[in-house]
Amino acid sequence: MIGKSYFLLSLLQVGLSQEWKGNTPREVTTQEGSCVQIPCHYSYPAHFENKRRVGIWLNKGKYKLRAPIAFHSKDHSHELPRFHHRTRLSGDLKNGDCSLIINNIRREDAGPYFFRIEFDNGPSHNYYPVTQLHVSDFTDKPTIFPAEIIAGKRVDVSCTFNTTCNGTAAPVLTWDTPTDVPGSVSNTVTQHGVTLTYTSVLTLIPSLKHHGHTLSCRVRYPSVSSERSLVLTMQDSGGEILHVIQILGIRAVIFLVAVVITIAGVCVWEGQTVKGSRQTV
């Protein structure tokens, strides 16, 4: 009985391995100017394993004839001109990875996409569901991690930007700083799962006169950019935050000075009056 069950299970596994199966999301959202990855994995009958193949991504729905080609793994001349040099596969077709990357996303890239495999001297197969690509405005911003800033001391300020797309046009982080603040920049890229983290560390030595000045970190793609800013809150060497003028305002300070001068004047006048009264007596 056990032998018979094992035999049936083996037949079932072989049968499953013979299927044409695809795994793609129904919807993917990206932002204009950035890049996007459409995840895709596929399987096919085992007897085609050693055959040469061509992977094709098409840019129309299931029921459209002669769908425009967004990517062709063998001959890029088949691709629509607007996709030239902007599309590629992120993995290896032999390993069942058909994930598509589109760089420098444009509004007209929005729409349905599906994957097709073609074997030499063999069949071709379209994989569904169709993936609907949505394109929105570029709104992502980098993140600045504030640090304790003490006048005259070296400080490292970090800026990061995360993306899940490893495109050919990678995001670039740059800094805008006060022109008289000497500094240096170091950039790194790390990967955690599917997330790529771009980090830029600005090292500088600010002084008290830079209190209230602005540091800006900007992320740039070929056609879009955004930035995040940080207002410098300087501390003196004793660690006291210079908020007096900022909180009270110039007018409040002038008012306080005027009050002090007035009180001092009244005190002087009263002292002279008392002195004169004694002399009269």
When the pLDDT of each residue in the chain is averaged and rounded to a whole number, the result is: 81
Per-residue model confidence as pLDDT tens digits over 106-165: 999 999 999 999 999 889 999 999 999 999 999 999 999 977 888 888 899 999 999 989
Residue 266 reports pLDDT greater than 60: no
Residue 183 has a pLDDT of 81
Q: Tell me how crowded residue 24 is: count the other CB atoms within 10 A of its CB.
A: 21
Please give the share of the chain, as a percent, with pLDDT higher than 90. Answer: 56
Eight-state DSSP code of residue 150: B
pLDDT at 277 over 60: no
How far, rounded to the nearest angstrom, does the alpha carbon of residue 196 sit from its chain's CA centroid? 9
Q: How many CB atoms are closer than 10 A to CB 100? A: 24
Q: In this predicted model, what pLDDT tens digit does every residue of 11-57 receive, in sequence order?
A: 344 344 468 999 999 999 999 999 999 999 999 999 898 899 999 99
Is 0.85 topped by the overall pTM?
A: no
C-alpha 112/C-alpha 9 separation (Å) is 38
Mean pLDDT of 1-9: 37
> Which residue's structure tokens are 């008392």?
274
Q: Are 127 and 145 in contact (CB under 8 A)?
A: no
Q: How confident is the model at residue 256 (pLDDT cuts 50, 70, 90)?
A: low
